[in-house]
Amino acid sequence: MAKLIQVTNLKKIFENGSETVHAFGPLSVDINIGEFVTILGPSGCGKSTLMLIIAGLLESTSGKVEFENKLVEGPKTDIGIMFQNNTLVPWRTVKGNIELQLELRKLSLEDYEDKVNDILKSVNLEDFAHRYPNELSGGMQQRAAFCQAMIHEPKIILLDEPLGKLDAMTREKIRADFQKLWMIKKPTVIFVTHSIEEAVQLSSRIILITPRPGKIDREMKIDLPYPRDLKLKRSAKFMEYVNSIEEVFHEYGVI
């Protein structure tokens, strides 16, 4: 498989005056084209920091990140990003927020009109296109932010706990929708979650991170067919993956 993203000996130490926090690393990982890789680790192990550095939004202390052998030296605009706190601006409607992503990338709103409507429909937000973020529920805001991250059909998507604030039912629904979308378009995804079950359901590979300072404990290929629906989730093989990951975190005293 062709390597798309290479992270080599990456490390981040935050220094604020006399206080230093060794967030993660050094760690190295390669991501191949079309993979769905999940970074799974306890709170505070440096996952968000790692994602920010991969996106070119934060500098590392040492080590490097490369996309197709090119060093990341500033913000990457050709990727889709959705972080823990959604990035909707309050003064624009749902549709306006999605269009903002197109404007920033100098893409034509006319060319994308159908796509904007389609993606809103796919997350059941078509009736809320002209509402402002503060008129939406938390789950609806997350779904709108999801559309925002996906509208330009990025080939690389970084998602940091995108479903964290959603209720269990909406979360299940969006997981399924997202999986469908991934199966069709096959973007390369780096996904961060605390949920072991979510990681097993979505990922082709899971990278388990130790407590801070985060290092790679092990990698696990998830050899289950897609789509991974409710029936598959109840299978013995699915549970085996979940259990073996739970054991790792149990050993760390995290669960």
58, 49 contact by CB (below 8 A): yes
Q: By CB under 6 A, what part of segment 191-210 binds ligand ATP?
A: 194
Contacts with Mg ion, 33-52, as mask; x by CB under 5 A:
---------------x----
Please choose, out of 39-47, 61-69, 105-113, 144-152, the segment that lies near ligand ATP by the rule CB under 6 A.
Answer: 39-47
Considering only 6, 8, 13, 21, the residue that binds ligand ATP (CB under 6 A) is 21
Please enumerate in sequence order all residues whose Cβ is within 8 A of that of 97, keeping only pairs 6 or more positions apart, or say none.
88, 89, 133, 144, 145, 148
Shortest Å distance, C-beta 218 to ligand ATP: 17
Considering only 7, 31, 37, 45, the residue that binds ligand ATP (CB under 6 A) is 45
Q: If contact means CB under 5 to 8 A according to the sort of partner, which of Mg ion, ligand ATP, none does residue 69 touch?
A: none
Pairing mode, strands 19-32 and 70-71: unpaired
Q: According to the binding rule CB under 5 A, does residue 101 interact with Mg ion?
A: no
Count of alpha carbons within 13 angstroms of residue 92, beta-carbon side: 15
Please choose, out of 13-21, 92-100, 119-127, 242-250, the segment that lies near ligand ATP by the rule CB under 6 A.
Answer: 13-21
Quote the CA–CA distance of 78 and 250 in Å, as a whole number: 38
Considering only 1, 2, 17, 43, the residue that binds ligand ATP (CB under 6 A) is 43
- Name the residue nearer to Mg ion (CB basis): 48 or 148: 48
b/e for 187-200, b at 16 or more Cβ within 10 A?
A: bbbbbbbebbbbbb
39, 21 contact by CB (below 8 A): no
- Name the residue nearer to ligand ATP (CB basis): 84 or 122: 84
Q: According to the binding rule CB under 6 A, does residue 48 interact with ligand ATP?
A: yes
51, 29 contact by CB (below 8 A): no
Quote the CA–CA distance of 127 and 109 in Å, as a whole number: 19
61, 69 contact by CB (below 8 A): no
Shortest Å distance, C-beta 247 to ligand ATP: 20
Would you tell me which residues interact with Mg ion (CB under 5 A)? Answer: 48
- Binding site residues, ligand ATP, CB under 6 A: 14, 16, 21, 23, 43-49, 194, 212
